[in-house]
Structure 1
Amino acid sequence: MRSTTTRRLRTAAASLTCAITLAACANGAADSAGTSASGAPKKIDAALGTTFSGGKSGTKATGTPVTIGLVNQQGGAVSNPEFTVAAQAAADYINAKLGGVGGHPIKLKSCYIVSSEEQGQVCAQRLLADRSVSLILQGGLNVGTQSLHRTVDGKKPVLIGQANPGPDTVAANSYATNASALASLHGVGPYLENTLKAKTAAIVSNDNAGDLAIAKIFKNDLEARGIKVTYATFPATSTDLISPLTAAGAQKADAVVPIVVTTTGCTALAKAYQQLSLTTPAVVSNLCATDQIKNSLGDYPKWIYSSSTLSLQADDPTGQTDFFRAVMAAYAPENAELQINAPYGFSAVFSAAKILNTVGYDKINAKSVAEAARDYAGPVLLGSPTLDFGSVADNPTIGSLAVRFYKYEGSDVWKASGAWINAPK
């Protein structure tokens, strides 16, 4: 039963990931100026840098570089350049202030998948042929993933900074430090059951096949937890969600689970909430917490947002989000994007540095790095506090399904709602 459920979650998450990727890229160009590092803390906490990279504070890296291959999707209709920008900023900081890897600078060798599946094979072949590359770093890909992993075929370890359902979850010699959409699918049910203590829930989704599959998974999971679910759909082109919310009984439910991730969908949901004067807690994707939506509505909707990374808006007692902002302000280009995929790229380079520093410069090769990656237990910068590769049934590459929930109360007040859910013990 568990294997069947996991496969269904993976299938639904694939549709969700595609929607999230397209929505994020569509939002990115409009939001980039509003989410820059301006106003970031000027002081960089070197202790945090040392903890997450395994480097030595106050040391500049010199000499022969340690080359990390980087595969990312950018340059086409779906493009995530902020992942690469943040990854490079992290590498530059580690090289300048933390001694790189054993005193040697980190060099990122990038290969981009623009729009076709075949480009994943090209990138894999290129990085396999480069004998200086002992570790491949992968961003979130919605094309090229199958050919990338099929061609690498375990010959070199792949560190996945943002996993998508499908090949990323089962590829040989691959290690995902962030489960992204898959984490949210596994986290909403426990949150409604254990934190909100919900007995009833209203689910609304548009009527495209992917969102219908996601809604079905949520409905089955919530009902298995003893939560009574009422479900309504709306046409994919609709911007009026009053009728489906009413049909789903949102006014009387303990929680609403809307399957919306685009700017249009999130804005329509917010307007319907206003028109219906709804106060029922809505548990939504953090992609509904963009500057574009805030500017459109005058403020973020007062909802609960799920995220597989720490929120950049909420107070963070660990200091990790301030550290991210400070490093990006110092080492990334002016007005660099901080949201969308930037945290994943930044975090992944620190994880890579920690793994390579654990191995030691003189012992770096594909085999030793793979062993260290497999044993890497975190913590992940901006992400899960722990990892345990092999602990997620049917998803051997996933180190954690950890997800956080944040409640927005208005007037720029964000509150973390509980601790990480589904982090390995």
Structure 2
Amino acid sequence: MVLAGCTSERGGGSDDGGGTGGTPAAAPTGTPLLIGYVTQENSALGSFPETRVAANAAAAYANAELNGVKGRPIKLVTCATNGSPESSQDCANKLVAQKPVAVVGGIDIAAETAMKIYETAGIPYVSGSPQLNGELNSPNSYSLAGGTVAELLGITDYLTSVKKVRSVHALYVDLPGLLTIAINSAKSILTAKGVTDVKLVAEKADAADFAPALSNVASGNPDAIVVIFQAQACARIVQAASALNIQAPMYLIGSCASPAVAKAAGGQTDNLIFASGYQPVTDDDKDPVAAAFAERVPADQRTSGSEGSFSAVLVVRDLLEELADPTPAALITALKATKDHPNVLAHPFTCDNQQVPLLPSICNASVRLLTWNGKGFADLTGDWLNGSQLVNLTTGG
């Protein structure tokens, strides 16, 4: 919730533009290498089937173009949760029973309850779109992008360091736990940075009408409105904001960075800014990995979350390719040793437990701000934002 002098190279490697390279090879024929995958679907709290589509697309791309992992095809074993702790635990048990080399997490708001299962099994949990507690501080979790927390930090830094705002109102989903803590921490940071008018408005994810909450958060003509919800609610929120003719700039977190959300605004998108841990992808993208994402993931499913799943699967593949023996234990050792390791469609990552104070699982807290140009997302600032050090303002550091 500070502009850092980070590399702006696509995917963040000093040697190439993405984390994955190589030339087309013969189809892998060895013993399949299992990677578990879990994400949330068919839930009123949020459904993200596009993340599974992207994860499968990444595995297919790795097998077709990169010879799998040293000639062994990647086999993705998937499981869908419904947002309840029980379903996350059930998926964890099912995936662990398959003995995968890693489990990649899509978007699962109840993932915290499953972390101990993966930890006990000695299987690393790697995520490109972490959401809540557990994913962000489990000793067995490795977040290759910072998710909602990093996006909030990036937005907060941009508003205070670049826009020099004095009035920020926030509309956030009424979900107890780390999110509420993050919102209150953001308020402390904004106040410490000189923002004199901070207003927080909570609303249920399944609210029948977002107009009253939006009218409340827009009252007083704030310099900026920050929206922290999942994609399905975000679409209804921007639709209501358009109907209410709200003109204040609205900053939305990565889970809202979806074509469906932008289109719900009915063409009134000039005041919408989306934070994401990933760079936008276009149909004519020259970066080979971005082009593979655009080719294999339908345009209406190219969300920040689907980029996160595509990225995480390929990064796990890259790390396994470097190992003499691709086992869960060896992968954990490799993850812990990373330093400015090339990412895929994202900033390089370092899993040293030091990237964000109090949240050791985050390996990369850099985000981009995006706008909607009518056809897709476009980069607003042309550089990464990293507000991780702002956390110190909440701890007295």
Q: TM-score range by the shorter chain?
A: 0.7 to 0.9
How far residue 345 of structure 1 moved from its aligned partner, in angstroms, is 1.6
Of 154, 163, 168 in structure 2, the residue corresponding to residue 202 of structure 1 is 168
Change (3 A) 1:213 1:337: same
> Equivalent residue for 1:229?
197
Partner of 1:397: 361
Gap runs ≥5 in structure 1: 6-47, 330-334
C-alpha contact (below 8 Å) 1:258/1:282 kept by paired residues: yes
Find the structure with the greater CA-based Rg. Answer: 1
Q: Which of residues 357, 372, 380 in structure 2 aligns to 1:416?
A: 380
How big is the shift at 1:161? 2.7
Contact 1:384–1:402 (CA<8 Å) still a contact in 2?
yes
Alignment of 1:6-405 (within 5 A): 52-53=19-20, 56-77=23-44, 78-114=46-82, 116-131=84-99, 133-150=100-117, 152-153=119-120, 155-196=122-163, 198-205=164-171, 208=174, 216-231=184-199, 233=201, 237-240=209-212, 243-244=215-216, 247-250=219-222, 253=223, 255-258=224-227, 262=233, 263-273=235-245, 278=247, 280-286=248-254, 287=256, 290-291=259-260, 293-295=262-264, 297-312=266-281, 321-328=290-297, 337-339=301-303, 341-360=305-324, 363-376=325-338, 377-391=340-354, 392-405=356-369
Whether contact under 8 Å (1:203, 1:259) holds in the other structure is no
Q: What is the SS of the residue equivalent to 1:168?
A: coil
Specify the code of the residue in structure 2 equivalent to 1:171.
S
SS in structure 1 of the partner of residue 69 of structure 2: coil
Q: What one-letter code is carried by the residue in structure 1 that aligns with 2:149?
A: L
Q: For 1:314 and 1:304, how far apart are their aligned partners in 2?
A: 21
Cα distance, 1:55–1:162 mapped onto 2, change above 3 Å:
same
In the alignment, the residues of structure 2 paired with residue 313 and residue 50 of structure 1 have an alpha-carbon distance, to the nearest angstrom, of 15
Letter in 2 for 1:347: S
Q: Within 1, Cα distance between the matches of 2:37 and 2:60? A: 15
Distance 1:74 1:126, change over 3 A: same
221-230 or 283-292, which moves further after superposition?
283-292
Structure 2's unaligned 5+ residue stretches are 2-14, 390-397
3-state DSSP of counterpart to 1:294: helix
Q: Which residue of 1 aligns with 2:11?
A: none
- Counterpart of 1:191, as a letter, is Y
Compute the TM-score of the two structures, normalised by the length of structure 2.
0.77
Look up the equivalent residue of 2:63 and give its one-letter code.
N
Letter in 2 for 1:359: L
Q: Secondary structure at the match of 2:78?
A: strand
Q: Is the 8 A contact 2:18 2:345 kept in 1?
A: no
Give the deviation of 1:374 after TM superposition. 1.9
Shift in alpha-carbon separation, 1:86–1:408, aligned structure 2, 3 A:
closer
Please identify, of 370-379 and 286-295, the stretch whose mean Cα deviation from structure 2 is larger.
Answer: 286-295
CA drift of 1:181 comes to: 0.8
Of 302-311 and 412-421, the range deviating more from structure 2: 412-421
Moved more, 50-59 or 295-304: 50-59
- Structure-2 separation of matches of 1:167 and 1:389: 17
Aligned mates of 2:285, 2:388 — CA distance in 1: 21
Higher mean C-alpha displacement, 104-113 vs 374-383: 374-383
Q: Give me the identity figure in percent.
A: 24
CA shift, 1:66, in A, is 1.3
Task: Decide whether the 8 Å contact of 1:67 with 1:107 is kept in 2.
Answer: yes
Q: Per-residue CA shift, 1:189-247, capped at 9, x if unaligned?
A: 21112222x14123143795768766543332111112222537587645157853563
For the Cα contact (< 8 Å) 2:130–2:136, is it kept in 1?
yes
| Structure 2 residue identity aligned to 1:365 | T
CA distance in 2, matches of 1:288, 1:53: 24
Please report how far the alpha carbon of residue 423 of structure 1 lies from its aligned counterpart in structure 2 after TM superposition: 8.2
Which residue identity is paired with 2:185?
I
Cα shift readout 1:155-193 (whole Å, capped 9, x = no counterpart) = 122212321221111223221112211111211221112
Which deviates more from structure 2 when the two are superposed, residues 182-191 or residues 236-245? 236-245
Matches of 1:136 and 1:293, distance apart in 2: 31
Q: Is the 8 A contact 2:96 2:121 kept in 1?
A: no
Q: Normalising to structure 1: TM-score of the pair?
A: 0.72
Alpha carbon RMSD of aligned pairs, Å?
3.6
Amino acid at match of 2:34: T
> Could you say which structure has the higher helix fraction?
1
